[in-house]
Amino acid sequence: MDFPLFFLDFFGNRILIAIVASVHVFINHPLAVGAWPLVMLMEWWGRRKGDADWDHLMYKITFVLFIVTTTVGALTGVGIWFTTALIAPFGIGTLLRVFFWAWFTEWLVFVSEVVLVMIYFLTWKRWLAGWQKSLHIGVGALLSGFSWLTMMIIVGILGFMMGSGNWPEARTLFSGFFNPIYIPQLAFRTSFAMGTAGLFVWFLLYFFTKKHSDLRRRAVRFVSGWMLIWSVPFAASSVWYWQVVPDAMRANVDVGLMTQRFAQWHETLAVIMAITLVALLLAALVGLARPKLIPRVALLIPFILGVWLLGHFERVREFIRKPYVIADYMYSNGVKVSELPVFQRDGILPYSTYVEHHTVTSANEIEAGRDVFLVTCSRCHTTSSGVNAVVNKFENLYGTGPWDDAALTAFINTMHTSRTFMPPFPGNDREVKALTAYLKELQKNRELLFGAQAGWTIRNNNQAQTGTP
């Protein structure tokens, strides 16, 4: 069997989705949901005080929000659809069938939100006084409401993926949308978005208030008060959200925080995250009481910490759902729970569309094993290198020497019992053996690849020392 010298799968399918989705969340929460009501409120405050410098500062911040949310935000939103449809078509197809009208409504809300963003920004310098300024602030309030409605709809779908409630019996949009996790997660994400919006505005103040120390101090005080107000519902909703997370998902948190290799350090990371939250709270307190004590450069650090916390939350939330992509309904490899007995009896290849081989024979065992890997493993694992490489996983278990067929086969058939975040293998005995043959071929070819690279390095070193071409 011929293998390419380099496997171009370093990031893998799940990382591709994660990168696009994480960037979108970074923009959606602090900017699209949280920042608009904050900016609108600050605009209202500037009008009340008759402060032209304050109003101009809000215009600069709005310019950044306008550019980022309508470009990167929109592109990553479309990117989520593209990557999920490409990599996990069964999962996204199921969600579309269940939540068609919810997503249809969300798109109408999103289009309205984009129109309001354009109106809010493009009319800022025209509607400066009197009833026009009041109208402009009203547009900002309407924009804030529509941006939150987008989150309100999407969180129902995200909650469904963690706990579908009584949807398996009722099979209605209402039962799926109003799942047990919906309201607590919505409260958590709303308060998180509002709080991190304050961190983002702090970040922009570093760049937009270089020569206006008094203006910066007043803006820091206002934003600090905003963050402190939202810290209370954030703390309460965090506890509420954690209480409704299913017990099986809580058991995955250790690995979700630090990966399987470093799971024993999860308590240390939890302490670091708690210290980070306390540090942000103290910064907001100092910003409210004594904004003069906060140096300009310090405005950058809280936002970076907030992004780190938000990113890690999304990582953990995605991981603890495993072995499911939709809780108790569909496994992370796209196999429905109800389909598993059929696939384990007949094999998964006869029911797979985009594979080269639909049956396993002695002549095509390795190639068929590759097809089995693609349809059952590749959504989470790469092959020989990169993030979550399957060869690395087995070398951690069985060493770098030749692997035993019986040991590999036994592990694949029972992996879901020792690693609860892994789905059961959805194939028959013949496909397990084919997958085992493919994995051993991957290991052998990686050894050849590394040997070729080592030989190339030695030859180049010798040539450099002797001066020979």
**pLDDT tens digit sequence for 348-358:** 999 998 899 99
- Residue 300: exposure state from Cβ atoms within 10 A (0-12, 13-18, ≥19): middle
Q: Can you point out the beta strands (E) in 328-396?
A: 330-331
Mean of pLDDT values over 397-410 = 88
Query: 460 pLDDT band (50/70/90 cuts)?
Result: very low
Cα–Cα distance measured from residue 329 to residue 335, given in angstroms and rounded to the nearest whole number: 9
What's residue 226's pLDDT? 95
Structure tokens given for 390: 């399957």
Q: Which position has the token pair 């990168």?
A: 19
Q: Is there a contact between 333 and 322 (Cβ–Cβ < 8 Å)?
A: no
Nearest to 149 by CA among 251, 263, 33: 33
Q: Output the CA–CA distances (angstroms, integers) from residue 382 to 376, 391, 392, in the order listed.
A: 12, 9, 10
Q: Which CATH code fits 337-466?
A: 1.10.760
What's residue 189's pLDDT? 94
Structure tokens given for 311: 């990113």
What's residue 266's pLDDT? 63
Query: 450 pLDDT band (50/70/90 cuts)?
Result: very low
Residue 8 phi, psi (nearest 5): -90, 60
**pLDDT tens digit sequence for 101-148:** 999 999 999 999 999 999 999 999 999 888 999 999 999 999 999 999
Q: What DSSP string runs through 140-188?
A: HHHHHHHHHHHHHHHHHHHHHHH--TTHHHH--HHHHHS-TTHHHHHHH
- 389 pairs with which residues across the strands? 382
- State the average pLDDT for the chain: 86
Q: Is there a contact between 300 and 203 (Cβ–Cβ < 8 Å)?
A: yes
Nearest to 19 by CA among 95, 72, 98, 93: 72
Q: Is there a contact between 359 and 410 (Cβ–Cβ < 8 Å)?
A: no
Q: Is the pLDDT of residue 15 over 80?
A: no
Sequence ranges of the domains in the chain: 12-331, 337-466
What's residue 265's pLDDT? 63
* Identity of the amino acid at 342: V
Confidence (pTM): 0.85
Q: Is the pLDDT of residue 331 over 90?
A: yes
Cα–Cα distance measured from residue 330 to residue 163, given in angstroms and rounded to the nearest whole number: 12
What's residue 263's pLDDT? 54
Mean of pLDDT values over 378-396 = 83
Give the rounded distance of the alpha carbon of 17 from its chain centre: 8
Q: Is the preceding omega at residue 323 within 30 degrees of 0, hence cis? A: yes
**pLDDT tens digit sequence for 251-293:** 888 777 766 555 556 677 777 778 888 888 888 888 888 888 7
The span from the first CA to the last CA of the chain, in angstroms, equals 34
Q: Between 306 and 406, name the one with better pLDDT.
A: 406
Give the rounded distance of the alpha carbon of 465 from its chain centre: 49
Cα–Cα distance measured from residue 159 to residue 263, given in angstroms and rounded to the nearest whole number: 25
Q: Is 227 helix (H, G, I), strand (E, B) or coil?
A: helix
Q: Is the pLDDT of residue 459 over 60?
A: no
Cα–Cα distance measured from residue 17 to residue 21, given in angstroms and rounded to the nearest whole number: 6
Cα–Cα distance measured from residue 304 to residue 202, given in angstroms and rounded to the nearest whole number: 11
Query: 3 pLDDT band (50/70/90 cuts)?
Result: very low
What's residue 314's pLDDT? 83
Cα angle, residue 391 at apex, residues 386 and 393 outer, rounded to 5°:
90
